[in-house]
Structure 1
Amino acid sequence: MSATGSRTVQRLGAVVLAPVALLGALWMGQRAARAVRPEASSAAVSSAVVRPTAASRLSTPTPTTGTGFAGPDRAADAPEPDVHETRTWYAAGRWWAVLNRAGDGALTIWGLRTTTGPWVDTGVLVDDRPFARPVVVWTGTELVVASSGTRDYAGHALRTNRLTWDAGSSTWVQEADFPVTASGNPAPGVQLGVEPDGTEWLARQDADRVVVAKSGPSGLEHTRFAPLPGGIAGSDVGGFDLLVSGTTVRIAWRSKSSDSVHVTTWDGTQWTTIERHVYGVGGIGPVTAALAGPAAPSTLLVLLPTTLPSRGTNDRDPALLLLALDGDRVETSVVSRGEDGLAGAGLVVDTDQATVHVIAVARPAPRDAGAPRHPSPVVDKTADLSDLAFAPGPGAVVLYGDVGTRLAAPVVPGTAVGPTRGLLVMVAGRDLSGWRTTLVGGAGVDAGTLAQRTGTVDVVHDTFNGLQPDDPRPAAWHAGTSAALEADVVDAGDTGRALLVSNTDGGPASVACRAIPASRAPVVVRADVVAKGTAGTDAKLLTLKGPDGSLASARLGRKGQAGWSGPHGRVIGGSVAMGTPLRVTIRVDPTARTATVRIETGSGVVAEGADIPLLASGKAGPDEVCVGPGSNDPSASLLLTDLLVQES
C-alpha cells in the first residue's frame, strides 16, 4: 500500500523509540499527528468527516433499530467470550454456529433459518462439554473445530473434530475417527488454522511465550505443544493471534515490555520474525489478525487495543489501532479513541466490497435525569481497504443487549464476508439470558430447508482407516486399567486398518478405553471385534462406563461362551469359536437404567438380552467405552475394526 497524507508508513530501521516530544516523528503522516493529541486533529480531518464533540456523541439518543433477535439460550455454565471468538461460518447458503444446546449444554451445530432467526439446533454434536470454548475453521469443504476447557483436569483436554456437509441429507456429518484428543492438557485461548491439505496448526499462550502444535493432513495425530525454535516468541508475549493462509503460517504478537508488534512467519522451511515499533501497544492485551485480501495479498492487518492510560470521557488518545503490515512497512490507522469506550473488538474483512469492519462493544449512551438507562450497544466501524480511514466516533450501532447487562466480546466470523452473506454478529453477556444476533447487510440465508436431527445421530465413529500401521495409536485411546496398554494400529486386510489390543506379557489384561460424549439420552454403541486367546479370562468385547463405574459389558469366555455381565454375575447367551468376527451392540438408557446387549456374527445373533439392569447407577449416562483381550494369556488379543457411538 502507498502512503498518503492520512496514513502512517514506518520503514524498518527508520523507527526511533523516543520521548513524547518525538511522537510526531514516530507516527508519521497526518493520521499519526491526530493520534498523539486532540489539538493536532482539527487540520487533519477532511471536509467529508465531521468529528462530533464528546458531549454531543455521548448525549445522542439511543436508536430504536439494530436490536437484533434473541436466542438461543445459553447454558448457565457456558463461558462468555472474553476476547474475540470464531465460532460462526457461512456454508451451503446460510450461517452456522457452534453453540450450547438446551438441557445438558453440549456444543452442537446450529443453523440460522432466516435473516431474522430463529437459530435452529441441528442436533449434530461437536463437543459434549458445556464449559468448552470452541474455535472453528471452515475450509470450504471441511469444518474443523478445536475445543478446550480452561482447568487443569483431564476432562478439560483439547479436542479437535471434523465435519463435512452432506447435501443429500442437508446436514453436517462427523468424519470417521473424530473427535480426537489433540492434547491431554487444556489449551485455553487456543488458536486454530488449517492448511489446504488438512494440516492443523494449533497455538496457545503459555505464560509469556507462544507454543505450537500441528497435525498431519488427516488431523488424527498431533505433535505436543512446544516453543518455536531459537527462542522465537519465547518470552515477552503480551497477546497473539494465529493466521494460516495456504501453507504460510503467521503469528502476530505484541511485546509486554516494549511498544512493538512482531510477526513470526513459517514459509514451509523456516521461521522468521519481523519487529515493528508502534507507540502505545506495549503490555498485555488481545491481538487479532487478518489478510487484506486479493487486492493486497501480502498485506497483514493487525487489530489491537493500546495500553495507554485512560483519560476519561474526553480522552483523545488512541485506544484501538489497525496496523497494515507489508514487507518493511507498517501503516497505522486509529480506529477509536479513549472517549469512544470500545472494548472486545473483532476484525472482519469484506473482500468483495474492499472494506474492513471492526465490531466492538461501546459504552451506553448517558441518560438525562430521571430518564431510563440505555443498553450497551455493539457497534460497527468500517473503512475502505484502500485507505483504512475510520470516521471519528464510536461507530454505527448494529445490536443491543438489555439494560443493565454487561456484554461480552462480540462473536464475528473469521472468514471474509460478502454482499450475499452479510456480516453475522452475535453477543452474549452477564445477565443476558441468551445470545443476541443480527445480520448486517446481505441476504444471509437461502430458501433451502434447514434439517433438524431426527432419530439417532453419530457422535463417534472410529474406523482407523486414516492411520498407517506405523503410526502411534490414536491419542483418544488410553489404558483402562493399571496395566500398560499394548495397542497398535495394524492392517486388518479387507476390513482396512484396525486397533490391535494385545497382552503379550501374559499378565493383567490390557484394556483400551476412549471417552465418548456424555449424554443422558439413550446411547447405542456398536463395535466390530475379533477376540483371540484360549487360556485366560474373559475377553471384554465391549464395556460402557459412566462416572459410577461399569454400566454394561459384553464378554467372550475362553471357551467361546458369549454373554454379558449382569447384577448377579455373567449371563451366557450362546457360543462361538474364538477368532470369529463379531458385531457387539449395547444400548444404554440412563432414564430406565437398563441396557440391551446383542452379539452377532455374519450369519446371525449369538447372544441377546433386553432390559438388563445397569451394573452401576448410570444416571449421568455412559462417558467411556472399553475393549480388551483376556488376561493371563500371552496369546490373547482383541482386534477392533470399527466403533460407532450414536445418541438417540
Structure 2
Amino acid sequence: MTRGGRLTAALLALALGIAALGAAPVRADVGTAGSLYTGKGGTATAPTGEKPQAKTWFHDGAWWAVMYNTATGSFEIYKRIDGAWSTTGTVVDARDGSWQDVLWDGNHLQVVSAGNRATNTGSAVRYSRFGYDSSTQRYVVEIPQVSLTNYGVEVAVLDRDSTGAIWITYTHGSQVYVTHSTTDQSTWVTPYVMPVGNPANVSADDISSIVSFNGHIGVMWSYQAPNGTGVPDEFYWATHIDGQPDDAWQVQPAFGGIEMADDHINLKAIDGDPAGQVFAAVKTSLNRAADPQIMLLWLDDWGAWHSTTVLRVSDGTPTRAQVAIDKGSRDLYVFASEGPCCTGGAIYMKETSLDSIAFPTGPGIPLIESSTDPKINNVDTPKEPVDATTGLPLLASDDSTHRYWHTFLPLDGTDVTPPETRIATGPTGTTASTSAQLSLSSDEPGSTFECSLDGAAFTPCPSPITYDGLTATDHTFRVQAVDPSGNVDPTPAARSWTVASTPSLFADGFESDDFSQWTTVLTGADGGAALESDTVASGAFAARLSATGNTGSFAYARKALPGTPTSVTISGTFRIDAEGGAGGNVPLLRLYDPSGARLLTLYRPNGNTKIYVGHSGITASTTGRLPSATWGRFDVAVTTAGAGASALTVSLDGARISSTTTASLGTAGVATLQIGNETKRQPFVVVADDVEAR
C-alpha cells in the first residue's frame, strides 16, 4: 500500500474514534460535526464553498480558517486547537452572503471576498490583507476591504505572483476578468477582460480560477457550449509571465469535448516537481453511468496538458471536487461530494502517487459522512502543498442542517491501515434454531472484534461468538475488526438470517451432541456417522457422515416425519469434504414416501460442483453450485399433489435454483428424510448442520 493509502486509513481510524468537537456531539459515521452556521446572528449558505476557493492555511505551527460565526453574523478567523475550530474574533467579512478565498503568502494573509448578486453593490468583490501578531497569536487588519467592483460574482479567486502582486480572477457578464494589485497591494488596476480573444467569452454559468506557478500566473476557466449545437465544451488555460505587461497572455485549450466541461475547477501548483507544474480537478457535464464525471488535469514541464478519470457518474454522481498535494510523500488527493446531484451527501477521497498518476475504480474512501446530516457538500482544502509537518484539514458543510463538518489527515506516514473483517461461518437463510454461532476472521493477525446484534452498540466479542434464545424474527449481525494498533474496520462485515416462526416438525438436535432426534442411524463396514465440533455451520456441533469404496461401507441417518405431511419444507446446511471417482455422486438429502419409495434426491455428481435433483423418474440440473469444503444452506419445499401436479422448489443460500409445479410425487406425503447414502461402496464425506422440517 502507498503512503497515501495508509494516510486514508489513518483518517478513517481517527474520524471513527473521536467525538464531535466544537458543538454538541452528533453521531457521525465518519468525520466530526462542527458548529452550526445558522442562528440569531444570521445564516450563511454553503460557507465552505466555492469550488475554486480555499478557506484554510497553515502558519505558526497551527491551522487557521475563515468560518462563519452565527453569534456575530460575520465570517471570522478561526484556529484549530485540539481538533476543534474556535473563533479568534478577527472579522474578515461581515456579509453573511459572501464567500472568501484566502492565501497565506509567508508574511500576510491575503483575502478576496464577494457575494453572488450580480447587480448588487453590496455583493462587490473586495480585497483585504491581514498581518499576524505572534505575541498574541492573532491576525490584525493591515489593509481594510478595498472594493474592486460594484457588482457581485459567482466566485472570486486570488493568488500572488513572484513579484508580490496579488492577482484576482472572476467571471462577469459572460466574460473572464482579471485584476491585480500595483506597488503596495492597496491599489489595483481596473479589472479587465482576459486579452485572449473569443475564448474569454463564456456562458453565464461558467467560472474561472487562478494559480501562481514557476514565475507565471495561470488562469483556467470553463466554457459550456450551448446544448444541441455540437460545439465542444472547453477548459481554457491562459498564462502570464510575472512582471510582463497586462496584455501579454498566452492561451490554449487544456481539456474539452462534447459535454466535457462544467463550472467546477480547483487548481493547485507545486514548483520543481517532475510530475508537473499545475494540477486541476474539473467536472464534466456527462450523465450516463459509465461516463467520466471528475477528471484530473495536469500541466507538464513542457506546457502540455494531460488528463485521467478520477470518478465516474456511477460513483455517486460526484461533484465539487478539490485537489491537494502532499509534497513530502508525493501523493495527490482528490476529494469530492458524492450523493444526489447536486446537494451532496458525503465527502469521499481518492489518491494517486505523483510518480504514476492513476486512480483505482470505484467511489473512493469516505472521509466525512453522517446519518444525521445527509447533504454534506463543498469540501475545502488549502491552497499550499502539505506534508507530515502540517497534516491536512478538510472542511465541509451541510445546507440542510446548516452544520460544519471537518476531519484531519495526519500525513505522518504511520502504519494505521484498518483491518478487513470477515464472517467465516454462521447462520443464513431461514432456520428453526434459536441459537446462532458465528466464526470471525481478519486479514491482520492479532486483531480483536467488536460485535453488534440487531442494531445494538458494538461491544468486544470473542470468535466464535454464540447467541442463544433468539426470537422468531429477522436478525442481523455486524462485526468490525480492531487491529493491534487500534485501527477499526470502517466497513463492518454483516450476516442476516431469519428464525422461523412456523412450528418445526423436526429439528436435528445436534446441539445435544447426539443423534437422539433421529429415527435411524446406520453405518456399514468402515462407514461413519458422528457428531463433531471442528466443522460446524452454526452452534457447537454438526454431523459428519462418511463412507469409503470398501465392501459394505455406507452411512446415513433417517427421520420419520410426524403426520406424513403432504406439504413440507426440508432445510439443511451441508458441505462436501470428500467424494469418489467419476460416475458416482454425493447425496445431500433424500425423501421417501410411506411405502419406502424414494421421492427425491438432492446430490452433487463427483468431479462437478453443480447441484442436481432427481425426482419423478427424471434428473434435473439446477443453477446452484456447491464447491467442496464450502457450506451451502438448502431449502427443499415439496407438495405431493399427484402425478404431474406436485410442486418442488429448491433454494441455495436464499436463491431459488430449481422449481417445478408438474412433478409426479404421488399423494401419500413425505414420510422420511435422510442425510447420507444407503448405497454401499460410494465414497463420500458430508457434514450436515441445522437440518429441520417444517
TM-score bracket relative to the smaller structure = 0.5 to 0.7
Max radius of gyration: which structure?
A: 2
Letter in 2 for 1:299: Q
- Render the CA deviation track for 1:480-508: whole Å, top value 9, x for unaligned: xxxxxxxxxxxxxxxxxxxxxxxxxxxxx
Structure 2 partner of 1:198: 164
Contact kept? 2:388, 2:412, Cα under 8 Å: yes
Contact kept? 2:156, 2:168, Cα under 8 Å: yes
Question: Residue 294 of structure 1: which of 258, 263, 272 is its match?
Answer: 272
Question: Residue 250 of structure 1: which of 218, 236, 245 is its match?
Answer: 218
Structure 2 partner of 1:172: 139
Letter in 2 for 1:256: Q
CA distance, structure 2, for counterparts of residue 128 and residue 278 of structure 1? 39
Q: CA 1:273–1:399 in structure 2 vs 1: closer, same or farther (change >3 Å)?
A: same
Q: CA 1:324–1:443 in structure 2 vs 1: closer, same or farther (change >3 Å)?
A: closer
CA distance, structure 2, for counterparts of residue 259 and residue 316 of structure 1? 19
- Render the CA deviation track for 1:46-66: whole Å, top value 9, x for unaligned: 9xxxxxxxxxxxxxxxx9566
How far residue 182 of structure 1 moved from its aligned partner, in angstroms, is: 2.6
Question: Residue 298 of structure 2: which of 314, 324, 339 is its match?
Answer: 324
Alignment of 1:440-459 (within 5 A): 440-442=409-411
How far residue 328 of structure 1 moved from its aligned partner, in angstroms, is: 5.2
Question: Residue 218 of structure 1: which of 177, 180, 184 is its match?
Answer: 184
Q: CA 1:350–1:69 in structure 2 vs 1: closer, same or farther (change >3 Å)?
A: same
How far residue 392 of structure 1 moved from its aligned partner, in angstroms, is: 1.1
Give SS of 1:432's match.
Answer: coil
Alignment of 1:553-564 (within 5 A): none
Structure 1 partner of 2:465: none
How far residue 291 of structure 1 moved from its aligned partner, in angstroms, is: 2.0
The alignment yields a C-alpha RMSD, in angstroms, of: 2.6
Question: Residue 366 of structure 2: which of 389, 397, 404 is its match?
Answer: 397
Q: CA 1:274–1:405 in structure 2 vs 1: closer, same or farther (change >3 Å)?
A: same
Letter in 2 for 1:289: L
Structure 2 partner of 1:189: 155
Give SS of 1:85's match.
Answer: coil
Question: Residue 249 of structure 2: which of 257, 271, 275 is its match?
Answer: 271
Structure 1 partner of 2:378: 409
Contact kept? 2:75, 2:95, Cα under 8 Å: yes
Unaligned runs of 5+ residues in structure 2 are 2-14, 18-28, 226-231, 414-694
Give SS of 2:200's match.
Answer: coil
**Are 1:163 and 2:120 matched, yes or no?**
no
Letter in 2 for 1:205: T
Q: CA 1:433–1:407 in structure 2 vs 1: closer, same or farther (change >3 Å)?
A: same
Give SS of 2:53's match.
Answer: coil
**Are 1:241 and 2:216 matched, yes or no?**
no
Give SS of 2:378's match.
Answer: coil
How many pairs align? 366
Deviates more, 1:250-259 or 1:102-111: 250-259
Q: CA 1:196–1:284 in structure 2 vs 1: closer, same or farther (change >3 Å)?
A: same
Alignment of 1:219-618 (within 5 A): 219-231=185-197, 233-236=199-202, 238-245=206-213, 247-257=215-225, 258-267=232-241, 268-269=243-244, 270-279=248-257, 282-296=260-274, 299-308=277-286, 310-311=287-288, 315-326=289-300, 327=302, 329-341=304-316, 342-363=318-339, 376-403=345-372, 405-442=374-411
CA distance, structure 1, for counterparts of residue 195 and residue 53 of structure 2? 28
Question: Residue 78 of structure 2: which of 92, 101, 110 is its match?
Answer: 110
- Render the CA deviation track for 1:18-57: whole Å, top value 9, x for unaligned: xxxxxxxxxxxxxxxxxxxxxxxxxxxx9xxxxxxxxxxx
Letter in 2 for 1:159: R
Contact kept? 1:376, 1:403, Cα under 8 Å: no
- Render the CA deviation track for 1:517-544: whole Å, top value 9, x for unaligned: xxxxxxxxxxxxxxxxxxxxxxxxxxxx
Question: Residue 73 of structure 1: which of 36, 40, 48 is its match?
Answer: 36
How far residue 168 of structure 1 moved from its aligned partner, in angstroms, is: 1.7
How far residue 260 of structure 1 moved from its aligned partner, in angstroms, is: 3.5
CA distance, structure 1, for counterparts of residue 371 and residue 171 of structure 2? 33
How far residue 297 of structure 1 moved from its aligned partner, in angstroms, is: 7.6
Give SS of 1:339's match.
Answer: helix
Contact kept? 2:153, 2:172, Cα under 8 Å: no
Structure 2 partner of 1:481: none
- Render the CA deviation track for 1:246-276: whole Å, top value 9, x for unaligned: 6411112233231433210011331111224
How far residue 333 of structure 1 moved from its aligned partner, in angstroms, is: 1.2
- Render the CA deviation track for 1:184-227: whole Å, top value 9, x for unaligned: 33233011111244311111112432011111142111222211
Q: CA 1:325–1:252 in structure 2 vs 1: closer, same or farther (change >3 Å)?
A: same
Contact kept? 2:196, 2:250, Cα under 8 Å: no
Q: CA 1:137–1:227 in structure 2 vs 1: closer, same or farther (change >3 Å)?
A: same
Q: CA 1:271–1:406 in structure 2 vs 1: closer, same or farther (change >3 Å)?
A: same
TM-score, length of structure 1 as denominator length: 0.53
Question: Residue 54 of structure 2: which of 61, 86, 89 is its match?
Answer: 86
Q: CA 1:236–1:131 in structure 2 vs 1: closer, same or farther (change >3 Å)?
A: closer
How far residue 100 of structure 1 moved from its aligned partner, in angstroms, is: 1.4
Q: CA 1:106–1:357 in structure 2 vs 1: closer, same or farther (change >3 Å)?
A: same
Give SS of 1:178's match.
Answer: strand
Q: CA 1:340–1:247 in structure 2 vs 1: closer, same or farther (change >3 Å)?
A: same
Structure 2 partner of 1:209: 175
Structure 2 partner of 1:95: 63
Letter in 2 for 1:438: T
Letter in 2 for 1:252: M
Letter in 2 for 1:417: V
CA distance, structure 2, for counterparts of residue 170 and residue 239 of structure 1? 35
How far residue 230 of structure 1 moved from its aligned partner, in angstroms, is: 4.6
Letter in 2 for 1:430: D
Letter in 1 for 2:299: L
Q: CA 1:337–1:405 in structure 2 vs 1: closer, same or farther (change >3 Å)?
A: same
Identity %: 22
How far residue 389 of structure 1 moved from its aligned partner, in angstroms, is: 0.9
How far residue 123 of structure 1 moved from its aligned partner, in angstroms, is: 0.6
CA distance, structure 2, for counterparts of residue 95 and residue 378 of structure 1? 20
CA distance, structure 2, for counterparts of residue 121 and residue 432 of structure 1? 21
**Are 1:126 and 2:126 matched, yes or no?**
no
Give SS of 1:179's match.
Answer: strand
CA distance, structure 1, for counterparts of residue 51 and residue 268 of structure 2? 16
CA distance, structure 2, for counterparts of residue 232 and residue 193 of structure 1? 25
- Render the CA deviation track for 1:54-80: whole Å, top value 9, x for unaligned: xxxxxxxxx956622222321353121
CA distance, structure 2, for counterparts of residue 137 and residue 218 of structure 1? 17
Unaligned runs of 5+ residues in structure 1 are 1-45, 47-62, 365-374, 445-648
CA distance, structure 1, for counterparts of residue 367 and residue 326 of structure 2? 17
Structure 2 partner of 1:458: none
Give SS of 1:229's match.
Answer: coil
Q: CA 1:174–1:239 in structure 2 vs 1: closer, same or farther (change >3 Å)?
A: closer
Question: Residue 105 of structure 2: which of 139, 152, 157 is its match?
Answer: 139
- Render the CA deviation track for 1:284-305: whole Å, top value 9, x for unaligned: 3212222244323853222211
Structure 2 partner of 1:35: none
